[in-house]
C-alpha cells in the first residue's frame, strides 16, 4: 500500500446529518464548519445558500418555498481528521436525492429536537441508514430550551428505532439552566464549546457539575446523573459500527454546547471509509487502484457555462488530477482534468483525493448517477438506489415541433436524477415519474428556463410503477408481450410494469408468480 494511502484514508470521516426539518441541521452544520475553520462567522451557510440561489433562475422555487433543493459537500479539518459533510435537502419531496447521498457516507449524525423527540422524517431517514447498516451518532439538540427528560428521550430512541443507546455525555440541566455536558465514562465536565478540554471532576455532586445549577435543582439532577452512570448501557464500538447501537450526545448548536463533544467523537470512534460492495467483489478503501462512483449530478453550478458537476465518492486508491479513468458503463476512457473539492466558501482544484473524499467532476453529460470510474477494472458499484416513483405524469408540450428537443431535455434531466423517465413500449409519449410533487415544479421551471420549453403535465392512466425481472428470460418476455400497453423502459432500457393502481399490481403478481416486481432498483 502506498504510504500516502495508509496515512490519509484512516483520517477521513465522511458523514451526513439526518434530521426532521427545524431540528437544527443547518445550525449544527455551521458550528461544525466553524470548528473546522471552514467559515469565520456563523450564519454563512445560510448566506452562502442564498447567494447560490440568486445566481440560478430555476432555484427560485427553492427560495420562494424556503427549502433546500441543493445537496452539497463541505470539507473541513479538526484535530487529525478530515471531515466530509454531505448535506441533504430537508424537504421530503426530494427524498430520493437524500437517499442517494446516504449511499456515499460512512456514518450519519441524527439530530433530534430535545422537546420533540423522534419525528416522522427522522424515522424515515433512519430506516434508510439501517438498510445500509450506516452507524448513527445521535445529537439531542436545543437543550437550552424546554426539553424532555433525558431518560425519556433515550427510551423513545430505543422503542421507536429499535436501536440501543449509550449516552456518552449527560446534559447538565436544561432550558435556561442548561450549562454544559458531563462525560460519563471519564467523569469530566465541559461547559460551553469554547472550553477546548474537559475538566476531571469528583462525581455528580461536584461544584463543577451540580454546582452549576440553581440549588433547588441540584439534588434531582445528581440523582439522575448517578442513575445514568449505573444503569445506562456502556458504549460498544463493535455494536455501533454494525449499526445496532447509537452513542448519544446532548447540546445546543445555537448556544454552542455539546458540538465539540460531537466532533471529537466523530474523530475518535466514527468509522473511517469502509469497504464498498461492487458486483464482482468487495473493494477495500486502502487498495492502490482508484475506484469511485457518482451519487449526484448538479447542474448549473455556474449558469454562464451550463456545466454539470458529477459528485463522485472515492472508494479506493488515489484520484489524481489529470488521470485517465475508465467509465465502466461505456468502457470508454475519461480524462479527469479538473476535479474539485468543495469548502463552505469556495471550490478548489483537487490534486489528490482518497477513499472517503467527494470530488466534483465537471462534464457535459458524460457521467450519470450510479456510474463507476476505475483505473481499468471491470467492476460496478451497486447501491445508489432508484425508488419507484409515486407520481407518474405525461409531459404535454404546446409546440409539437419541439418534441425532439423535449426528448433530449428529459433524457438529461433523468440522467441528473431530477426525474425518472419511462418510454412506453407502445410508442406513446414519455412518462415522467417523481417521488414528490415539488420535483415536477423543478422540472417545469428548468425546462422553461434552460430549454425554452413550456410544458404542462397530464395525469397518466397509471399510478404504480415496478421494475420487473425473472430468472427465466422467456418468462419475462412472455409477461412483457402479454402486457405491451403497460410496459415501459427506464433510462437503462430496463423494463417496468405500469399499473393503474395497487390492486391491479397485486392481481398480476398473483397470476405471474415467477415475475419479480421491485419498488427499488439499484442504478446500473
Of 89, 106, 107, the C-alpha closest to 98 is 89
CB of 254 to ligand G4P, least distance (A): 3
Q: Which is nearer to ligand G4P, 95 or 245 (CB)?
A: 95
Choices 180-188, 246-254, 284-292, 407-415 (CB under 6 A): range interacting with ligand G4P: 246-254
Q: Take residue 86 and report the three cell numbers written for it.
A: 454531505
Q: Does 49 bind ligand G4P (CB under 6 A)?
A: no
Q: Which is nearer to ligand G4P, 96 or 193 (CB)?
A: 193
CB of 38 to ligand G4P, least distance (A): 17
Q: How many helices (H) and strands (E) does the chain have?
A: 14, 33
Please answer whether residues 229 and 184 qualify as being in contact, where contact means their C-beta atoms are separated by less than 8 angstroms: yes
- Pick the binder of ligand G4P from 81, 100, 142, 521 (CB under 6 A): 142
Task: Round to whole Å and give the CA distance between 341 and 347.
Answer: 5
Q: Does 109 bind ligand G4P (CB under 6 A)?
A: no
- Pick the binder of ligand G4P from 13, 25, 393, 444 (CB under 6 A): 25
Q: Which is nearer to ligand G4P, 90 or 389 (CB)?
A: 90
Q: Is 141 annotated as a binding residue?
A: yes
Please answer whether residues 234 and 183 qualify as being in contact, where contact means their C-beta atoms are separated by less than 8 angstroms: no
CB of 432 to ligand G4P, least distance (A): 28
CB of 90 to ligand G4P, least distance (A): 5
Q: Does 21 bind ligand G4P (CB under 6 A)?
A: yes
- Pick the binder of ligand G4P from 72, 169, 252, 292 (CB under 6 A): 252
Choices 18-26, 99-107, 121-129, 322-330 (CB under 6 A): range interacting with ligand G4P: 18-26
DSSP state, residue 235: P
Q: Does 24 bind ligand G4P (CB under 6 A)?
A: yes
Q: Supply φ then ψ for residue 88, to 5 degrees.
A: -130, 150
Residue-wise DSSP of 474-515: HHHHHHHHHTGGGEEE-TTS-EEEEESSHHHHHHHHHH-TT-
Q: Is 304 annotated as a binding residue?
A: no
Scan for cell 478540554, then name that residue. Answer: 197
Task: Round to whole Å and give the CA distance between 383 and 6.
Answer: 26
- Contact letters for ligand G4P, residues 144-173 (x by CB under 6 A): xx----------------------------
Q: Is 89 annotated as a binding residue?
A: yes
Q: Checking DSSP bridges between strand 420-424 and strand 431-434, what pairing results, if any?
A: antiparallel
Task: Round to whole Å and give the CA distance between 362 and 310.
Answer: 6
Q: Does 23 bind ligand G4P (CB under 6 A)?
A: yes
Of 255, 261, 293, the C-alpha closest to 168 is 261
Choices 14-22, 168-176, 208-216, 456-464 (CB under 6 A): range interacting with ligand G4P: 14-22
Q: Which is nearer to ligand G4P, 147 or 391 (CB)?
A: 147
Q: Which is nearer to ligand G4P, 22 or 268 (CB)?
A: 22
Task: Round to whole Å and give the CA distance between 436 and 69.
Answer: 12
Q: Does 27 bind ligand G4P (CB under 6 A)?
A: yes
Q: Which is nearer to ligand G4P, 96 or 144 (CB)?
A: 144
Choices 22-30, 77-85, 439-447, 493-501 (CB under 6 A): range interacting with ligand G4P: 22-30
Scan for cell 451519487, then name that residue. Answer: 295
Q: Is 143 annotated as a binding residue?
A: yes
Task: Round to whole Å and give the CA distance between 208 and 198.
Answer: 11
Q: Which is nearer to ligand G4P, 48 or 402 (CB)?
A: 48
Q: Is 385 annotated as a binding residue?
A: no
Choices 19-27, 99-107, 282-290, 440-448 (CB under 6 A): range interacting with ligand G4P: 19-27
- Pick the binder of ligand G4P from 4, 6, 22, 202 (CB under 6 A): 22
Q: Is 91 annotated as a binding residue?
A: yes
Q: What Rg do the C-alpha atoms of the chain give, in angstroms?
A: 25
Please answer whether residues 71 and 298 qualify as being in contact, where contact means their C-beta atoms are separated by less than 8 angstroms: yes
Q: Does 253 bind ligand G4P (CB under 6 A)?
A: yes
Q: Is 167 annotated as a binding residue?
A: no
Task: Round to whole Å and give the CA distance between 75 and 358.
Answer: 9
Q: Which is nearer to ligand G4P, 251 or 424 (CB)?
A: 251
- Pick the binder of ligand G4P from 72, 141, 169, 439 (CB under 6 A): 141
CB of 133 to ligand G4P, least distance (A): 25
> What angle separates helix 44-55 from helix 25-35, to the nearest 10 degrees?
110
Q: Which is nearer to ligand G4P, 140 or 476 (CB)?
A: 140
Of 104, 134, 5, the C-alpha closest to 359 is 104
| End-to-end Cα, the chain, rounded Å | 30
- Which helix (H) or strand (E) segment holds residue 32: the answer is helix 25-35
Strand runs (DSSP E) across 429-518, as ranges? 431-434, 455-459, 464-469, 487-489, 495-499, 516-518
Binding residues for GTP: 87-91, 141-144
Binding residues: 87-91, 141-144
Q: Under the rule (CB under 6 A), what is the footprint of ligand G4P?
A: 19, 21-27, 90, 141-142, 144-145, 252-255
Amino acid at each position: 500500500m502506498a504510504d500516502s494511502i495508509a496515512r490519509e484514508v484512516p483520517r477521513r470521516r465522511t458523514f451526513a446529518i439526518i434530521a426532521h426539518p427545524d431540528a437544527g441541521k443547518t445550525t449544527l452544520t455551521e458550528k461544525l464548519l466553524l470548528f473546522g475553520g471552514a467559515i469565520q462567522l456563523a450564519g454563512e451557510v445560510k448566506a452562502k445558500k442564498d447567494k447560490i440561489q440568486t445566481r440560478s433562475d430555476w432555484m427560485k422555487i427553492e427560495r420562494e418555498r424556503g427549502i433546500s433543493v441543493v445537496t452539497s459537500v463541505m470539507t473541513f479539518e479538526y484535530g487529525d481528521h478530515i471531515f466530509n459533510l454531505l448535506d441533504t435537502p430537508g424537504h421530503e419531496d426530494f427524498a430520493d436525492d437524500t437517499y442517494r447521498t446516504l449511499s456515499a457516507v460512512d456514518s450519519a449524525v441524527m439530530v433530534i429536537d430535545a422537546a420533540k423527540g423522534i419525528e416522522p422524517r427522522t424515522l424515515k431517514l433512519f430506516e434508510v441508514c439501517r438498510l445500509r447498516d450506516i452507524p448513527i451518532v445521535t445529537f439531542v439538540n436545543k437543550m437550552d430550551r424546554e426539553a424532555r427528560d433525558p431518560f425519556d428521550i433515550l427510551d423513545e430512541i430505543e422503542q421507536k428505532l429499535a436501536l440501543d443507546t449509550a449516552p456518552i455525555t449527560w446534559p447538565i440541566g436544561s432550558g435556561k439552566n442548561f450549562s454544559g455536558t458531563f462525560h460519563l465514562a471519564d467523569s469530566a465536565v465541559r461547559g460551553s464549546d469554547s472550553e477546548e478540554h474537559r475538566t476531571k471532576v469528583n462525581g455528580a455532586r461536584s461544584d463543577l457539575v451540580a454546582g452549576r445549577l440553581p440549588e433547588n435543582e441540584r439534588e434531582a439532577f445528581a440523582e439522575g446523573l448517578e442513575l445514568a452512570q449505573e444503569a445506562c448501557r456502556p458504549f460498544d464500538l463493535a455494536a455501533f459500527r454494525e449499526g445496532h447501537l447509537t452513542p448519544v450526545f446532548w447540546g445546543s448548536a445555537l448556544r454552542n454546547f455539546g458540538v465539540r463533544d460531537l466532533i471529537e467523537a466523530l474523530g475518535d470512534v466514527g468509522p473511517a471509509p469502509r469497504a464498498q460492495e461492487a458486483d464482482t467483489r468487495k473493494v477495500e478503501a486502502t487498495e492502490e487502484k482508484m475506484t469511485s462512483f457518482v451519487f449526484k449530478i448538479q447542474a448549473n453550478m455556474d449558469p454562464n457555462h451550463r456545466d454539470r458537476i458529477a459528485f463522485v465518492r472515492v472508494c479506493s486508491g488515489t484520484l489524481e488530477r489529470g488521470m485517465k479513468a475508465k467509465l465502466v458503463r461505456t468502457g470508454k476512457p475519461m480524462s479527469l482534468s479538473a476535479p474539485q473539492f468543495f469548502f463552505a466558501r469556495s471550490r478548489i482544484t483537487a490534486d489528490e483525493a482518497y477513499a472517503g473524499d467527494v470530488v466534483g467532476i465537471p462534464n457535459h453529460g458524460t457521467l450519470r448517477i450510479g456510474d463507476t470510474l476505475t483505473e481499468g477494472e471491470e467492476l460496478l458499484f451497486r447501491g445508489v438506489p432508484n425508488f419507484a416513483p409515486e407520481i407518474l405524469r405525461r409531459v404535454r408540450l404546446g409546440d409539437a415541433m419541439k418534441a425532439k428537443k423535449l426528448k433530449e431535455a428529459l433524457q438529461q434531466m433523468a440522467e441528473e436524477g431530477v426525474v425518472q423517465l419511462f418510454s412506453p413500449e407502445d410508442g406513446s409519449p414519455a412518462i415522467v415519474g417523481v417521488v414528490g410533487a415539488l420535483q415536477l415544479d423543478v422540472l417545469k421551471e428548468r425546462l422553461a428556463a434552460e430549454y425554452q420549453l413550456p410544458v404542462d403535465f397530464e395525469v397518466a392512466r397509471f399510478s404504480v410503477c415496478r421494475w420487473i425481472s425473472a430468472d427465466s428470460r422467456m418468462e419475462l418476455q412472455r409477461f412483457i408481450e402479454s402486457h405491451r400497453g403497460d410496459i415501459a423502459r427506464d433510462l437503462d432500457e430496463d423494463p417496468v410494469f405500469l399499473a393503474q393502481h395497487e390492486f391491479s399490481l397485486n392481481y398480476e403478481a398473483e397470476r405471474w408468480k415467477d415475475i419479480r416486481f421491485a419498488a427499488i432498483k439499484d442504478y446500473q
